[in-house]
């Protein structure tokens, strides 16, 4: 049977031309994510990848060719998607050297690309020259994406779901099936237009998948729009006013070696928090690692804590900080968030949450006993790095609903917020996005954090050093966010919604969707092209 002109064109490309096509498609997929959110380009990228796999199917070693197509696609996608990690190496260039940034980006991109490579290879093992390949492609790539978010600590960055702008109608599907479930549907619907090139099928068969995909997206949009339209109205004064504040200092400037550095940074945060008598906020939030550890640890300096108490007055402060505690002959360090309240300027440390999920190589070094002999240290420059704490828990916040704190990297993981009897009334996200530089990294992180609000039906207060700080409602919509030149955002905390379907049944629904889509590989009619 004669192949379509599209397939003929792909088959006629040289191996290196197909590799560059895959790299280009992967880079195109990145434009579907924040801050661009050019969602149709992500769909186009997936269609090109399916056509490259169609071409691989005709090769003498199709599985090997498919592995290569997925690898080059992943390299193009993740090298353009996570290039900003190179900024972290510029902060402490004396220790690392700026040239480490490029190999670090390529190394991480290669590791992440391997998941797409194995996914494409597995899909090729059951590939068909008809519409059924769309179902197997979506199901298997979803499985490898899920594994990417869980294996070896996981890095669920740039999941397919995130091409839908958080807070807009389609993103509301995350309240039913989470970011992973929406990723599965996105892969399936966006790969469907590849059937347009199936020359062996009639016009109806070729256009039907595109029409069905459009109808499904329309239904999701309509349901999400209705969900947003039926949002309850927040009554004035029903919830506390919350302020998220930043110092405005870059990462290198914050860590300058000065005898008064902690005091200098503290003053910046007190200025952004506003004077107690003029502030309407009952709760003030400072980002991850707000006060640097240059000369002393914040919690170990009574004079410093007194200054914090005087600056806060009767307000509650939730601050990201570094703390330590003795462990026999050793000292353990923690990336923490502390709840500090008080009366008449007398501070009281009421609760502490220690970060549970740590960033490999950023906050700890895997196989430290071996790696330490190579004189390699974590970017945080704290011995062997931080110790992991217990999973996020419900914290009692005076004058506010109970909260759960997610520190930086933790906000990219669906399902980490406590549920059931331990479900909080809101999420506090503290992060240090100054590590990411001024590129797309902070915007990607911000978009992912907003999905946690949608999934859980909980409002979020996000304090981001060097990033976007905001008050977010349980639909993922921005209530207030920081703008250029303004170092704080303040608003009444929105009300929480009832526990979402995803929070109760999400994993079961995702498994059901996966079975349905995978079964289409068996039930759809076959018609080779």
Question: Annotated active-site positions, please?
Answer: 288, 355, 408
The burial class, CB within 10 Å (0-12 / 13-18 / 19+), for 300 is exposed
Range 325-351 burial, b when 16+ CB lie within 10 A, else e: eeeeeeeebbbbbbbbbbeeeebeeeb
Q: Where are the alpha helices (DSSP H) in 330-463?
A: 368-371, 441-456
Examine residue 35 and say whether the peptide bond preceding it is cis (omega within 30 degrees of 0): yes
Token pair in block for residue 506? 């999400």
Distance CA 245, CA 288 (A): 11
- For residues 17 and 139, what is the distance between their CA atoms, to the nearest angstrom? 28
Closest CA to 31 of 43, 21, 20: 43
Give the integer Cα–Cα distance in Å for 232 and 457.
Answer: 12
CA-to-CA dists, residue 13 to 16, 17, 68, 283, 528, angstroms: 8, 6, 15, 60, 22
Instruction: Indicate if the alpha-carbon torsion angle 186, 159, 436, 489 is positive or negative.
Output: positive
Distance CA 262, CA 375 (A): 28
């Amino acid at each position: 049977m004669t192949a379509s002109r599209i397939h003929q064109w792909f088959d006629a490309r040289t191996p290196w031309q197909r590799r560059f096509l895959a790299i280009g498609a992967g880079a195109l997929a990145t434009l579907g994510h924040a801050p661009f959110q050019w969602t149709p380009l992500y769909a186009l990228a997936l269609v090109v990848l399916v056509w490259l796999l169609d071409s691989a199917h005709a090769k003498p070693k199709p599985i090997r060719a498919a592995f290569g197509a997925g690898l080059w696609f992943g390299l193009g996608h993740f090298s353009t998607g996570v290039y900003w990690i190179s900024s972290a190496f510029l902060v402490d260039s004396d220790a690392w050297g700026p040239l480490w940034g490029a190999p670090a980006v390529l190394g991480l991109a290669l590791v992440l690309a391997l998941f797409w490579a194995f996914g494409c290879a597995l899909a090729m093992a059951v590939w068909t020259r008809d519409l059924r390949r769309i179902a197997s492609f979506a199901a298997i790539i979803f499985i490898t994406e899920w594994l990417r978010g869980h294996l070896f600590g996981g890095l669920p960055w740039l999941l397919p779901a995130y091409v839908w702008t958080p807070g807009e109608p389609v993103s509301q599907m995350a309240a039913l099936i989470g970011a992973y479930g929406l990723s599965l549907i996105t892969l399936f619907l966006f790969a469907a237009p590849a059937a347009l090139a199936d020359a062996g099928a009639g016009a109806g068969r070729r256009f039907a998948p595109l029409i069905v995909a459009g109808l499904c997206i329309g239904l999701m949009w309509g349901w999400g729009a209705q969900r947003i339209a039926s949002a309850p109205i927040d009554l004035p004064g029903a919830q506390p006013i919350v302020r998220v504040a930043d110092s405005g200092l870059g990462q290198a400037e914050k860590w300058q070696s000065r005898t008064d550095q902690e005091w200098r940074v503290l003053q910046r945060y007190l200025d952004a928090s506003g004077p107690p008598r003029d502030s309407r906020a009952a709760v003030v939030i400072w980002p991850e690692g707000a006060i640097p550890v240059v000369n002393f640890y914040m919690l170990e300096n009574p004079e410093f804590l007194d200054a914090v108490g005087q600056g806060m007055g009767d307000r509650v402060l939730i601050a990201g900080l570094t703390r330590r505690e003795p462990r026999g002959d050793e000292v353990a360090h923690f990336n923490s968030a502390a709840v500090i309240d008080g009366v008449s300027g007398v501070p009281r440390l009421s609760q502490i949450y220690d970060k549970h999920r740590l960033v490999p190589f950023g906050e700890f070094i895997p196989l430290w006993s071996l790696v330490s002999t190579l004189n390699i240290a974590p970017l945080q420059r704290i011995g062997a790095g931080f110790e992991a704490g217990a999973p996020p828990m419900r914290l009692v916040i005076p004058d506010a609903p109970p909260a759960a704190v997610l520190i930086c990297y933790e906000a990219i993981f669906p399902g980490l917020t406590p549920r059931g009897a331990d479900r909080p009334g809101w999420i506090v996200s503290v992060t240090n996005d100054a590590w990411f530089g001024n590129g797309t990294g902070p915007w990607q992180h911000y978009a992912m954090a907003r999905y946690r609000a949608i999934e859980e039906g909980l409002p979020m207060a996000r304090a981001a050093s060097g990033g976007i700080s905001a008050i977010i409602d349980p639909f993922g919509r921005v209530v207030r966010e920081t703008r250029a030149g303004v170092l704080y955002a303040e608003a009444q905390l929105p009300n929480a919604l009832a526990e979402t379907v995803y929070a109760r049944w999400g994993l079961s629904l995702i498994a059901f969707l996966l079975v349905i889509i995978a079964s289409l590989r068996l039930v759809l009619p076959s018609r080779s092209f």
